[in-house]
Amino acid sequence: MSRILHGLAVQAEILSRLKPRIQKLSRRPGLAVVLVGHNPASEIYVRSKIRVCAELGIFDETIRPPETATTEELLAIVDGLNRRPDIDAIMVQMPLPKHVDTRRVLEAVAADKDADGFHPTNVGYLVAGRRAPRACTPAGIIELLKHYKLPMAGQHAVVLGRSDIVGKPMALMLLQENATVTIGHSRSKNLPEMCRQADLLVAAIGRAAFVTEEYIKPGATVIDVGIHRVTDAGQAARLGRADEFASQGKIVVGDVHPLDLARVAGAYTPVPGGVGPLTIAMLMANAVELAERHLCSA
């Protein structure tokens, strides 16, 4: 029988550890979110962040430039936030509109206000194993593995996906936990065979139910990072969720086939309810850590 790894339980633990740290500060930590346009998925995500900030007593401000905002306008907003003493952490919600130079905007966020851990300085600190804000999704996955006391040291971890946001930092963090790490991507050969060697498989490729039985070593721990909304009744039925589809008109699945996941893995994160809540928790953790740093050095 496989074990389900619940992200909400780990989120609750992370947030409860943050509360006393926030209470010790001389003012509330400040988190600014720049949300460009009206992407529905981003709106949902930002609403969750606002709710968690309120629960923790973090001051939050959402700046909402229009979809037509230029790179220069966004750089000016980020510059303004970098200068504000009440803002400890800044996150620019992805994706930005196509006409915007995303890299320039992300890199304009001061490294010591980088809530997402995307700034090259902080990526460098991660490579060097130094303390700094870390990419929230992989950092949350490490917390989840620790919470459930799942071993990392000496384990063969395969990370499927090499994005700057998930795959690459995930591989680095697992390496730091003394796992033996392999990274798979779209040019890798024999992916199913490679993944079947994994004691720990992290799937972050952005393809609904792509990872099936032949990718999973029986008994392995599988972390499913993907989030996909399925609106086709036939596909929902093939994924074993016909009833849920009938009542809700959609289902949400990950990068791993949910039926195979439950049948073959030893432990796994469900979608929804697995990795998603961890990302928000670690964003809060980064904001609190940055506030502590600013208030200590003030």
Active-site residue among 88, 116, 199, 224?
116
Decide if residue 270 touches ligand NAP (CB under 6 A): no
| Tokens, residue 35 | 């949300």
Contact 155, 200 (CB under 8 A): yes
| From candidates 74, 89, 165, 282, binder to ligand NAP by CB under 6 A | 165
Contact 110, 52 (CB under 8 A): no
Decide if residue 231 touches ligand NAP (CB under 6 A): no
With respect to ligand NAP, which residue has the nearer C-beta, 15 or 225?
Answer: 225
Reduced to 3 states (helix: H, G, I; strand: E, B; else coil), residue 256 is strand
Looking only at the bridges linking them, the beta strands covering 59-63 and 30-34 are parallel
Residue count at the site for ligand NAP (CB under 6 A)?
A: 23
Decide if residue 269 touches ligand NAP (CB under 6 A): no
Active-site residue among 49, 113, 168, 217?
49
The three state secondary structure string of 199-255 is CEEEECCCCCCCECHHHCCCCCEEEECCCEEECCHHHHHHCCCHHHHHHHCCEEECC
Q: Is 19 a catalytic residue?
A: no
- Minimum CB–partner distance for residue 186 and ligand NAP (Å): 3
Write out the DSSP string of 60-110.
EEEE---TT--HHHHHHHHHHHHH-TT--EEEEPSPPPTTS-HHHHHHHS-
- Minimum CB–partner distance for residue 143 and ligand NAP (Å): 13
Decide if residue 29 touches ligand NAP (CB under 6 A): no
Interatomic CA distance for residues 269 and 276, integer angstroms: 10
With respect to ligand NAP, which residue has the nearer C-beta, 160 or 181?
Answer: 160
By rule CB under 6 A, what string of x and - marks binding of each residue 107-146 to ligand NAP? Answer: ------------------------------x---------
Q: Is 116 a catalytic residue?
A: yes
| From candidates 37, 97, 206, 266, binder to ligand NAP by CB under 6 A | 206
With respect to ligand NAP, which residue has the nearer C-beta, 181 or 205?
Answer: 205
Residue 295's CB is within 10 A of a number of other CB atoms, namely 14
Q: Write out the binding residues for ligand NAP, residues 175-194 only, by CB under 6 A.
A: 184-187, 191
Decide if residue 162 touches ligand NAP (CB under 6 A): yes
- Among 50-58, 159-167, 234-242, 284-292, the segment contacting ligand NAP (CB under 6 A): 159-167
* Crossing angle (nearest 10°) for helices 276-297 and 7-23: 20
Residues in CB range of 154: below 8 A, 6 or more apart: 178, 179, 180
Residues at the interface with ligand NAP (CB under 6 A): 137, 160-163, 165-167, 184-187, 191, 204-207, 225-227, 275-276, 279
Q: Which residues are catalytic?
A: 49, 93, 116
